Chains A and B, each alone.
Chain A
Amino acid sequence: MKRLYPLGFLAFALILLAVPLASNNEYELRLFMLFLIYAIIAVGLNVLVGLSGLVSLGQAGLFALGAYTGAIVAIRLGFDMISATIVAAIISGLFGVLLAYPTVRVRGVYLAVVTIAFGLIIENIAIEWQSLTGGTTGLMSIPAPNAFGIRLSGYAYYAVLAVTLFLLVVGTHNLKHSRYGRAMLAVSQSETAARALGLSPTTMRTLAFVVSSVTAGIAGTYYAFLNSYISPDIFTFTDSVRFLLMVILGGAASTFGPLIGAYILTYLPEYLQEFAVWQKFAYGALLLVVMFALPRGIMGSLGALFARLRPRAVAVAASEGLPAEATLSRDLSHMRAELVTRDLTVRFGGLTALSAASVRVKPGEVHALIGPNGAGKSTFVNTISGFYQPTSGEFELDGVQLTGLRSHEIARVGLARTFQNTELFGDMTVLENVMVGCQQRLTYGIAASILHTLSMRREEEQCRRESIGLLSFVGLEDFAHEEARFLPFGLQRRLEIARALAAGPRLLLLDEPAAGLTTQEIDDLEAMIRRIAGLGISVLLIEHHVELIMAVADTVTVLDYGQVIASDTPAVVQADPRVVEAYFGTSDSTHLQSDPQPSEASA
């Protein structure tokens, strides 16, 4: 599939070249130019919807913002088209940042409502601020497209639109296949896991909003210059729906999907005219049919069909990978990995989940944290990985104060974790999941992502080979190109470990890694933990499975009712009557020999 993209771009370029030569009249060319403008919006919106998984139903507001800004600076200040476009792009971009802010607090339908409100506010401001926007009458006599004082002919303006769109498609395609694109997809599929890998969801969402609003702003200015007239009726809620539909119809997250969606929805009204009074009905009916027949959009459905006809090899040769030992020990050579918590207390309302817990994970050791259900193990894990804020107390990693940091910041300091209920990026491949892990070791910036510079490609290749190495380390190289959600449960757990390792942690936090595994799988896990510890990575293991703990742990800490009741070598802890009492309410220490929670057979 990957090799087909250059051909796709070539075909797209040829079409863009051929259309002006083939068009019969100005109207036809104009209509195609309108398509180019809508496609610019759709391609930008795709970054938001397809990659970041956020729904915007206010894109017409950003389109309006660009159109009015461009038109006003052109009319009032005599800006030429290029400078007007730049001003409009900046203004819309700023509003994009503003719109991204609510995503910190609200998501899903709530966000959709915020964007709807935003679109309606812009539309109404355009109606009411008559002195600036001309009110309902709109702005007339916007100058013809011009650059550096030269008036652009119809064909020259076409070229401007076509080149902009082409570069945008290439740029967003490149962005998608870079660490930024992976990060956006990761954040949209599991925010929790993304944060645990050091990704800042807010940054990624803001980036997506900025891309989609800057493109809408540019498209707006182009539209104003093409039409030489704008009015508030152009930017209604219906138009926002149509822009979103372009992305969904074409296929969200695909490279060429939004183009196809924009094409169809630009030309569709021309054909629907046949239906006269019934055309809106026909539009609604078509929308309904699309949602049922092609829920993943045209490109999505075609891609799935293609994948079924020509299945791709799932395995990857282990020889392509760099040895995991080299990858992992490289980052550790000069550091100790010691986690210290002091009097960590977490209260939820009146409930004290963790009470003055002081734990020390020594450099390079495997430290197990056990305790009955409700003892505060999960609270402890979620607190030291930054998902909960402690009520009091503090914790640090190798002397770096972590208290008060957010989860992705803690991850960046060198703490990686897995999850009790696996949190994979289900729609991404196994290899991509691991590559999200190496995110922080990649240094290239956004410009390099868009341009796919040589150094960016070198870094990506390095990341890919390291990730393959880590996959072989956990024994998943045969599933590299499988989508993560199709993996059997036991393998999903291993993938989480590989992904966490890719982040290059100094402390690896395993949250009940044996839950739901078969005996054989637990044996494999035990060996894996030993190997990880052997590389000098400290491991904090939260487990119920006593045999595993006794086999691998250097130190065992026992929590009960939020308090540390014991912390010592397994043998000592095993004999501690308080521990036995916490588990069974009696002092019969023999019970602890067996597995208190029989493991279930995994799927």
Chain B
Amino acid sequence: MSTVAQYVLSGLAIGGIYALVALGFHIMWSAARAVNFAHGDTLMIGGLVAAYLVAIGWPLGLACLIAIVCGGLFGFVLERMAVRPFLGQSNSIGWMLTTIAVGIMVESIATIETQGYALPLPSPGITSSVQIMGAGLYPQELAIPVIALAAMAGLRVLQRRTLIGRAMQAVAYNKNAAALMGIDVNLVVAFSFALASLLGAAAGVLIAPVVQASATMGVLPGLKGFAIAIMGGITSAPGVVLTGLAYGVMEKFVEGYISTSAREIVGFSLMIVVLLAFPQGLFGKREVAKV
């Protein structure tokens, strides 16, 4: 029992990170039908900036806040420089490669600064663990899935209650019509990328105390987050968040009952199978092509 509880709770913690990353992919995709292929690097930016600021003596809260803002700025600039010029093209190779290029550059700078070492990010959330049904977790880890769900709910409130949120939905539904209604589509797209990166950086700040901040910390969560977004149905925010949480739990059970090393093989195979069965993802809406 305690084993199962441990796998479920640890899985939710890591799944919460996937969910936050996937939610970012959902936001970017909805706005632009394009994503930042190196979105995982926003995690790294969040984690490293926070760890660096704390190391030079800033208070934790302020450091985290600045780190998250840095992530958002990164997303904003990236959209402007690397994504927008390629949005008009018929295939996705343009923005795929440019965002990958920016990712390589950012990761390279981070590697040079850290020399490849991980940096600690002290947090009150990891000083002592709590026991739930025989499973042990840090409060920090328990908070992650809760925050992921809160982000999902927050996004919904944003979309329902605010002007920019409604504009985001309009753009997601039909870009041209939104432009005709006087919505500044470019601004909405830029805002969406900034928001997605903000969430990514927040995920980085959240996970850094547990896993340490390093130049490569975002690579795998980034790739998996994207795969999860596609698998969950990239057009559905609740879909990607729930899929993210479920994927994290699934990983822990594979690690626990098959082997640690089978994790990636099982996970990605499952993803392909799901996509073949549900081409729009588990919770995605089917887009009917009119001839």
* A110 CB-CB contact with B under 8 Å: yes
* Size class of the contact patch on chain B: 35 or more
State how many angstroms separate the Cβ of B37 from the closest Cβ of chain A: 9
Closest residue on chain A to residue B112 by CB atoms: A277
* A108 CB-CB contact with B under 8 Å: yes
State how many angstroms separate the Cβ of A81 from the closest Cβ of chain B: 30
* B97 CB-CB contact with A under 8 Å: yes
Once A55-B91, A280-B108, A283-B104 are accepted as A-B contacts, the answer to whether A106 and B279 lie under 8 Å apart by CB is: yes
- Cβ proximity bits A53-71 to B, threshold 8 Å, 1 near / 0 not: 1010100000000000000
Bound CA–CA A244/B226 (angstroms): 19
Bound CA–CA A105/B284 (angstroms): 14
Whether A55 lies near B96 (C-beta < 8 A) is yes
Neighbouring B residues of A110 by C-beta, 8 Å: 230, 275, 279
Closest residue on chain B to residue A191 by CB atoms: B289
Stretch at the interface among B127-135, B141-149, B257-265: B257-265
* B107 CB-CB contact with A under 8 Å: yes
Whether B276 lies near A101 (C-beta < 8 A) is yes
Our pick among B93, B262, B275 for the contact of A55 (Cβ within 8 Å) is B93
Neighbouring A residues of B112 by C-beta, 8 Å: 277-278, 281
Whether B35 lies near A109 (C-beta < 8 A) is yes
Once A280-B104, A284-B108 are accepted as A-B contacts, the answer to whether A291 and B230 lie under 8 Å apart by CB is: no
A residues 484-526 in Cβ contact with B at 8 Å: none
State how many angstroms separate the Cβ of A232 from the closest Cβ of chain B: 12
* B52 CB-CB contact with A under 8 Å: no
Whether B264 lies near A281 (C-beta < 8 A) is no
* B153 CB-CB contact with A under 8 Å: no
Whether A108 lies near B91 (C-beta < 8 A) is yes
- Cβ proximity bits A277-305 to B, threshold 8 Å, 1 near / 0 not: 11011011101100110010000000000
Whether B276 lies near A288 (C-beta < 8 A) is no
* A577 CB-CB contact with B under 8 Å: no
Whether A127 lies near B261 (C-beta < 8 A) is yes
State how many angstroms separate the Cβ of A50 from the closest Cβ of chain B: 11
Our pick among A120, A245, A285, A295 for the contact of B264 (Cβ within 8 Å) is A120
Stretch at the interface among B4-12, B58-66, B165-173, B266-274: B266-274
- Cβ proximity bits A212-239 to B, threshold 8 Å, 1 near / 0 not: 0000000000000000000000000100
* Size class of the contact patch on chain A: 35 or more
Whether A285 lies near B276 (C-beta < 8 A) is no
State how many angstroms separate the Cβ of A512 from the closest Cβ of chain B: 12
Bound CA–CA A124/B264 (angstroms): 7
Closest residue on chain B to residue A101 by CB atoms: B276
Whether A285 lies near B101 (C-beta < 8 A) is yes
Whether B92 lies near A113 (C-beta < 8 A) is no
- Cβ proximity bits B107-119 to A, threshold 8 Å, 1 near / 0 not: 1110110000000
Closest residue on chain A to residue B269 by CB atoms: A121
State how many angstroms separate the Cβ of A589 from the closest Cβ of chain B: 33
Bound CA–CA A113/B89 (angstroms): 19
Bound CA–CA A117/B226 (angstroms): 11
* B157 CB-CB contact with A under 8 Å: no
B residues 81-126 in Cβ contact with A at 8 Å: 82, 85-86, 89-94, 96-98, 100-105, 107-109, 111-112
Q: A110-B230, A241-B97, A287-B104 are in contact. List 11 more A-B contacts (CB 8 A).
A: A102-B276, A117-B227, A121-B272, A125-B265, A128-B261, A244-B93, A277-B111, A277-B112, A281-B105, A281-B112, A285-B101
23 contacts between A and B (CB under 8 A): A53-B90, A53-B91, A55-B91, A102-B272, A102-B276, A105-B276, A106-B275, A117-B227, A117-B269, A124-B265, A125-B265, A128-B265, A241-B97, A244-B93, A244-B97, A281-B104, A281-B105, A284-B104, A285-B105, A287-B100, A288-B101, A291-B101, A295-B89
Give the interface of A toward B (CB within 8 A). Answer: 49, 53, 55, 57, 101-102, 105-106, 108-110, 112-114, 116-118, 120-121, 124-125, 127-128, 192, 237, 241, 244-245, 248, 277-278, 280-281, 283-285, 287-288, 291-292, 295, 378, 382, 387, 419
